[in-house]
Amino acid sequence: MDDFLLLDGALLRTVDPVLLRATSFGHFSSLQVRDGRVDGLDLHFERLDRSTREVFGEPLPAERVRADLRAALDQAQSGDLSIRVNVFATHRLHLLTRVGAPITPGTRPIRLRTFQHERAVPHLKHTGTFDLTYYAHRAAHEGYDDALFTTKSGEISEASIWNICFARGPHLVFPAAPVLPGIRQQVLQRGLDSYQTVPVPLTELTTYDAAYLTNSIDPALPVAAIDSVSYADHPESAEVIAKAYASEVPQVI
């Protein structure tokens, strides 16, 4: 299918330059829709409302977002989509919804190159993403698949478009460094019986059995290597993750 845009729920056929300028300051959430359902839809609504209150000083009701999502499904005449909801403002608050074909999760374990980098206001999924793409390109230039960030003190934080978690046996560990709390990560965490959020120093990567990346597309993409540290398949932790996700029911738009 061809991608299209909705502005406040209506099909956008032309783009005003004012719109392009305004959308550079804002925040967004990305969703993979399957059969009209979304994993952690309530968490997307909560993120969009919380971020809108912080950035623009007003609430964003879940029903307004839901109405635009339903308009996207109606326009596409499909329940399987990739959707990105951007929130920005001119003289009032707007939702710009980009709609495209669904994206299949990756299956090949990937290799990560670390860079010391800390995103500005990392708790927000804001539109300032140049740095993420820049480091991803640098990693690719050096023969890796993507970038993984560390703090100045040498703690693992997050990857360019993913959260990361580590496994020791069946136990999952999430980095305590400041990161964007991804929706998939939150879905995974609330499906787990227990987990830890602790500092993960770069110097301690060899003490873990496995690592996984999570985002709206990839629920648990195995990591093959971080710099010179390699990880093998780890069925024990993979089973724990699969069980946690299976406990969460996708929510109807």
**Interval 27-47 mean pLDDT:** 98
Domains of the chain by start residue, with CATH: 4-100 (3.30.470.10), 110-248 (3.20.10.10)
Closest CA relative to residue 227, chosen from 136, 142, 108, 132: 142
- Predicted local distance difference test score (pLDDT) of residue 14: 87
- Predicted local distance difference test score (pLDDT) of residue 3: 95
Compute φ and ψ for 37, nearest 5 degrees. Answer: -125, 155
Q: Is 211 helix (H, G, I), strand (E, B) or coil?
A: strand
**Interval 40-69 mean pLDDT:** 98
**Interval 30-51 mean pLDDT:** 98
**DSSP sequence for 52-118:** HHHHHSS---HHHHHHHHHHHHHHHT-S-EEEEEEEEESSSEEEEEEEE---PPP-S-EEEEEEE--
For residues 172 and 166, the answer to whether their CB atoms sit within 8 Å is yes
The mean pLDDT value of the chain amounts to 97
Q: What's the pTM?
A: 0.95
- Predicted local distance difference test score (pLDDT) of residue 20: 80
**Interval 68-87 mean pLDDT:** 98
Please determine, for residue 22, whether its predicted confidence score (pLDDT) is greater than 90.
Answer: no
For residues 167 and 173, the answer to whether their CB atoms sit within 8 Å is yes
Torsion of CA 117, 122, 125, 126, to 10 degrees: -80
Please determine, for residue 51, whether its predicted confidence score (pLDDT) is greater than 90.
Answer: yes
**Interval 97-107 mean pLDDT:** 96
CB atoms within 10 A of CB 156: 26
pLDDT in tens, 184-243: 999 999 999 999 999 999 999 999 999 999 999 999 999 999 999 999 999 999 999 999
pLDDT band at 19 (very low <50, low <70, confident <90, very high): confident
| Structural element, H or E, at residue 132 | helix 130-141
For residues 214 and 165, the answer to whether their CB atoms sit within 8 Å is yes
Q: What share of the chain is helix, strand, coil (3-state, %, to 5)?
A: 30, 30, 40
- Predicted local distance difference test score (pLDDT) of residue 17: 81
Please determine, for residue 1, whether its predicted confidence score (pLDDT) is greater than 90.
Answer: no
For residues 94 and 26, the answer to whether their CB atoms sit within 8 Å is no
pLDDT in tens, 161-179: 999 999 999 999 999 999 9
Please determine, for residue 142, whether its predicted confidence score (pLDDT) is greater than 90.
Answer: yes
- Predicted local distance difference test score (pLDDT) of residue 39: 97
For residues 222 and 106, the answer to whether their CB atoms sit within 8 Å is no
